[in-house]
Amino acid sequence: ATALEALESKREQILRERQQEQHAEIAARPDLSEEEMQKILKQHKEETELLNGKLSSDLARQQAQINLKLNERMKAKKLAAQNRQHLERAQEKAEQQKEMQALRQDQMRDTEHLVMAQAMKDANTSEGAEDVIAQVLHVRHAQELLDLREAAESEAMLALTASRSELDSELEERE
């Protein structure tokens, strides 16, 4: 609003200065006839109206530019806020996934121990027990590999989102 007030003040100042110049021009020529005086006054009035229109259109154009910049800034702030919220949700989700993965691993290890203990008890030979242990470990390693891939993808997306959020914040600060 202060920028617009400054522009309006500048417009009014220019108009006042032009009117003072016109009055000074008339005062400097006391020898003019009434007809010449009316002609100059008419010309001054037209010049003033033309100047006023030009200044008003400049003011409107500048006001539109200011409004456009304000709208862009508001959109950028809104987008940055949305990105920050998205990042926070993604971080919370990643943390929950880690907790769930830890619980799953604990449950899986408990189940593995039970299966291996039962297999050792039921196995007739040590080879049978080794086969069961090898199968259990194979399943565990496959699950761990899958969990690691998911965690890496999640961390990569989280890092990308965090970087985007940081860039948005920096751009917001510069404006």
pLDDT in tens, 75-88: 988 888 888 888 88
| Tokens read off for 52 | 């006023």
**Is pLDDT at 106 greater than 80 in this prediction?**
yes
Long-range contacts of 74-79 (CB under 8 A, 24+ apart): 76/168, 76/171, 76/172, 76/175, 77/172, 79/168
Per-residue pLDDT reduced to its tens digit, 18-48 = 888 888 888 888 888 888 888 888 988 898 8
**Cα dist from 78 to 64, 159, 162, 165, 171, whole Å:** 21, 21, 16, 12, 13
Greater pLDDT, 122 or 75? 75
Task: Give tens-digit pLDDT for 124-166.
Answer: 666 777 887 888 889 889 988 998 898 888 888 888 888 888 8
Note the Cα 114 to chain centre separation in Å: 53
